[in-house]
Amino acid sequence: MALHCKVSNTVASTSLLGGSKRLLHLPKSYPIHCNMVSPSSTLGLGPLKLHNKVGSRLRPCRVKREENSQTTNVESISVDEDTLKQDLETAIQEENYVEAARIRDRLKELQEDNKASVLSANTRFYQAFRNGDLAAMESLWSKTGKPCCVHPGAKGITGYDDVMESWEVVWMNYEFPLLIELKDVEVHVRGEVGYVTCMEFVKTKGSSSWGAQFVSNVFEKIDGEWFICIHHASPVDI
């Protein structure tokens, strides 16, 4: 049974990640709308409650900002997938099968390179999530268009600034690093868009239970690098 609610000005909720209840104070303009699910579908943690005190200010999020010595190594690929596909079609039409085989092998290598790069971007996303590293999280999201983030049990939040603020809210009062495990990870790439699906298990310090979500992370390729543009986490009973 779904419960839809409207909350004046902002929000408040039982832990989005599993564990004890926490009161979240959000800025008056924070654009979260509750889209509650029944307690049985939130891992037995009770319904998500989101509050905001009018006139209150967001308490600074105690995030851990780590100096990441690992630079992003993105292989520069001079020939894109569409060009190779056109070349392959031309080679077949001209019955140049040796060249067609070479291009087909290059296409396969390119697709594997893209999958590896998307997986690497997904790994960096979870590293920032695990450590509560807001600076790293900010660098991983696409700033173009309208990125969208759907936290467990909540409605979608769109726009780069609002998405970043939502991570501050989710991380508020937690101690880092969080325990995060991923299972059933799959990656798919179609041209300039890639996506990862997986089961995500999150446990906070002091909690005896794990929060389980089915997650879809969508990435777009911008100037040779992969940036996350959609994060959608749906609660799963375990």
pLDDT digits (tens, 9 = 90+) for 12-65: 444 556 544 444 333 333 333 333 333 333 333 333 333 343 343 343 444 444
For the domain made up of 81-236, the CATH class stated in words is: alpha beta
> Is the pTM value of this prediction over 0.75?
no
The 10s digit of each residue's pLDDT in 93-116 is: 988 888 888 888 888 888 889 999
Q: Residue 163 has what pLDDT?
A: 97
Chain segment 67-95, per-residue pLDDT in tens: 443 433 333 333 577 888 888 899 889 88
Contact between 200 and 184 under an 8 Å Cβ cutoff? The reply is no
Does 139 score more than 50 pLDDT? yes
- Boundaries of every domain in the chain: 81-236
Is residue 121 predicted with pLDDT exceeding 50? yes
Other Cβ atoms within 10 Å of 97 Cβ, number = 11
Secondary structure (DSSP) of 115-174:
HHHHHHHHHHHHHHHHHT-HHHHHHHB--SS--EEE-TTB--EESHHHHHHHHHHHHTT-
